[in-house]
Amino acid sequence: MRYGRLTDLVRLALQMQGRADGLSLDDIGETYEVSRRTAERMRDALRDAFPQIEEISEPGGRKRWRLPPGTTGRLADPTVEDIATLHRGAELARQSGDTATADNLDTLSDRLRARLPGPKRTQLEPDIAALLEADGVALRPGPRERIPEETLNDLRQAILAGVWIKVDHRARASSLLSRNARLGPIAMLLGEGRQYLVAYSDWAKDVRLFALAGFERIELSNEGFERPDDFDLPAWMQRSFGVWQEEPYDVVWRFTPEAAPDARLYLFHPSQEMTDEPDGSLTVRFRAGGLKEMCWHLFRWGDQVDIIAPKILRDTLKSCLVDVEKALKIYHYK
């Protein structure tokens, strides 16, 4: 048996032990992307290794299988890589301002670490530091917003509870304060740069973005909120190049032959299509809004990319360049 298959069987055993209702053949097939016959072979291999496996019959004749607690023994012990992954997630959450999630991940890491044998605990810290540094998490530079932990906790609680909230929120562009705005929170968009709440606005009767830094008061209500039936968050997000929502356009960029190798490594947008041109250049097509965010990204490519369409994107880029020239004059740059 190949090592890769053995790894799958170990993972399957842990899943069967960790889920109270066990796993069906369909679950195995979907998780490991295998045929039903292969799923049966995997189940049979576990039954040979663990005779104590339990078979659960459901109405309709469907069957599930599970392992009693403690069956897998030391196979369930966490690895250094497992704990390093939790540390990595905690560091990313902390850098994005989500300290509550970071603290929960740290606690989970401590619980797993307590199960490690002494020698593994001894080598843990330097190994974790090396892994974090290897993928750049510990050294990641760049500015980010500092969002009050109370704001994140209140919004997370409202999202999980599925209730309306009343807020005082100050708009970024105008600095105008909206008092007692009624919102139905859906999701938080955390990460580098600006951070937002996706919420249904009772005033606008539509889904909108609200900067997390703009919340000055949040009050949870006892009234349940249900997102619109036709709202699909991933599809809604794909309408935009970055975060801000605008009407989508058919966008076409062409990268020079010199820039094409690097451009091929980018996922500019989930809907993108790439075409290699005869002269070695690369044409990228996608449909999205967020013209100003596109311009901010295009600046990094300098003169190595040409905007083929739409014309309004070229006009927006020119407007951004005018703003840059004004800034240069203000700061006396030459």
pLDDT in tens, 243-267: 667 788 999 999 999 999 999 988 8
Distance CA 28, CA 39 (A): 6
Same domain, 50 and 14: yes
The answer to whether residue 99 is domain-embedded is yes
Same domain, 197 and 167: yes
Same domain, 67 and 101: no
Residue 225: pLDDT over 60: yes
The answer to whether residue 277 is domain-embedded is yes
Structure tokens at 239: 């309408």
Looking at 75, 90, 109, the residue that finishes a domain is 75
Higher pLDDT: 34 or 144? It is 34
Among residues of the chain, what percentage have pLDDT more than 90? 30
Same domain, 117 and 83: yes
Q: Which CATH number characterizes residue 161's domain?
A: 2.30.30
* CA neighbours closer than 13 Å in the CB half-sphere of residue 110: 6
Residue 151: pLDDT over 80: yes
Same domain, 40 and 103: no
The answer to whether residue 235 is domain-embedded is no
Q: What is the mean pLDDT of residues 42-64?
A: 88
The answer to whether residue 141 is domain-embedded is no
Same domain, 93 and 159: no
Looking at 229, 258, 276, the residue that finishes a domain is 229
Distance CA 76, CA 167 (A): 45
Residue 323: pLDDT over 90: no
Q: What is the pLDDT of residue 3?
A: 33
Higher pLDDT: 201 or 330? It is 201
The answer to whether residue 23 is domain-embedded is yes
Same domain, 172 and 218: yes
Determine what percent of the chain falls in helix, strand and coil, rounding each to the nearest 5.
45, 25, 30
The answer to whether residue 24 is domain-embedded is yes
Over residues 60-93, the pLDDT tens digits come to 888 999 988 888 777 777 777 788 788 888 888 8
State in Å, rounded, how far the first CA of the chain is from the last one.
67
Residue 125: pLDDT over 90: no
The answer to whether residue 282 is domain-embedded is yes
The answer to whether residue 119 is domain-embedded is yes
Q: What is the DSSP letter of 239?
A: T
Residue 287: pLDDT over 70: yes
Distance CA 271, CA 249 (A): 12
Looking at 175, 194, 229, the residue that finishes a domain is 229
Name the residue range of residue 195's domain: 149-229
Q: What is the pLDDT of residue 100?
A: 83
Cβ–Cβ contacts within 10 Å for residue 228, how many?
A: 12
Q: What is the mean pLDDT of residues 266-292?
A: 91
Q: What is the pLDDT of residue 1?
A: 38
Number of domains observed in the structure of the chain: 4
Q: What is the pLDDT of residue 242?
A: 67
pLDDT band (50, 70, 90) for residue 192 = low
Distance CA 163, CA 161 (A): 6
Structure tokens at 234: 């991933």
Q: What is the mean pLDDT of residues 326-333?
A: 65
Average pLDDT value for the chain: 84
Residue 117: pLDDT over 80: no
Same domain, 83 and 71: no
Q: What is the pTM of this model?
A: 0.56
pLDDT band (50, 70, 90) for residue 24 = very high
CB contact set of 265 (below 8 Å; sequence gap of 6+): none
Distance CA 334, CA 331 (A): 9
pLDDT band (50, 70, 90) for residue 231 = confident
